[in-house]
Amino acid sequence: MKQQKIRDLHRDLGYFYVGLIISFAFSGILMNHRESWHPDKYTVETKAINVGPLDEAKLSPKFAEDLGKQLGIEDKMRRSSVKEGKFKISFENNDVEIDNATGKGEIVSFKKTPLISHTMKLHKNTSNWWIYYSDIFGLSLITIALTGIFMIKYGKNTFKARGWKLAVAGIVFPLIFLFLLA
């Protein structure tokens, strides 16, 4: 491929995907910290409840759905679980947590954070058309990276002279974290 065609491809893919690159990078940073806070939603109300002691043997998804209706929760139930003596129910716009022994708990109602929740949804979306678009995006990022290697042809800053060292460091750094976390 000619030098100018490599530059043109690199530039045009960069321009085409600049919005998606920024959006993915932004939502990726937010998702990295989702255990500390919930960037995609914010609490609008917290309400104390007391439903009486709960029998763990009877805590099923059907029970959770019925309890949600009794508590006045109208949105769709996602899941329910029992952990460490607490019954947790997750709805689209509400979370319920109840201590099984006492029956005391709370309903936390929340709303989606505008823009932030939408960009984070890009990372979580699994619809077929989005998966294919994301695959094309991933291939384009690989193309941008590879064409970037060949953009500088002469001098001390070429890939052959200097860039390969940075590329190796860029590969080794995440591998170190993978081995440390494994």
Token readout for 51 is 């439903």
Q: Is 49 helix (H, G, I), strand (E, B) or coil?
A: strand
Per the structure, the count of domains in the chain is 2
Same domain? For 46 and 92 the reply is yes
Domain that holds residue 128: 3-35+115-181
Angstrom distance (rounded) from CA 146 to CA 149: 5
Element (H, E) at 97: strand 94-99
Last residue of a domain, one of 112, 137, 162: 112
> 131 Cβ partners below 8 Å, 6+ apart?
none
Same domain? For 107 and 132 the reply is no
Same domain? For 102 and 126 the reply is no
Angstrom distance (rounded) from CA 59 to CA 57: 6
Last residue of a domain, one of 63, 92, 112: 112
Token readout for 78 is 């996602």
Same domain? For 119 and 107 the reply is no
For residue 123, the model assigns a pLDDT of 66
Same domain? For 107 and 119 the reply is no
Per-residue pLDDT of the chain in tens (182 residues, 90 and over written 9): 677 888 888 888 888 888 778 877 777 777 777 776 677 788 889 999 999 999 888 899 999 999 999 999 999 999 999 999 999 999 999 999 999 999 999 999 998 888 777 777 776 766 778 778 888 888 998 999 888 887 877 888 788 888 888 888 888 888 888 888 76
Same domain? For 99 and 126 the reply is no
